Structure 1
């Protein structure tokens, strides 16, 4: 799944932030692989780490603001 596909999927849930457990279910990944992926997504500016175990999608940085 590309970063844009991931953001579009997360946008569909209409949640302001996601927990590790949420992302584990959405992405279908094991916990260890998920943490590596989350670190890469934060470093790449796709997700913002709000606090330990909570992440916010960075829609604005990729021009994916929700319309309508």
Structure 2
């Protein structure tokens, strides 16, 4: 399993989370005090990560190394 963190543009959080949920991916959103939103994502393959990177509203996807969500 690959563990990634995706930074998402403000206003695009729901669209990104709906997409992740539609793929059945575990994901946990969190927002920093400055309003920046990130999603911790558990993805099965690099090709899925590539699709996430192409989503409108996703600024960048980085390796996490762990998944702290439930």
What TM-score, normalized to structure 2? 0.31
- TM-score by length of structure 1 reads 0.32
Higher helix share: 1
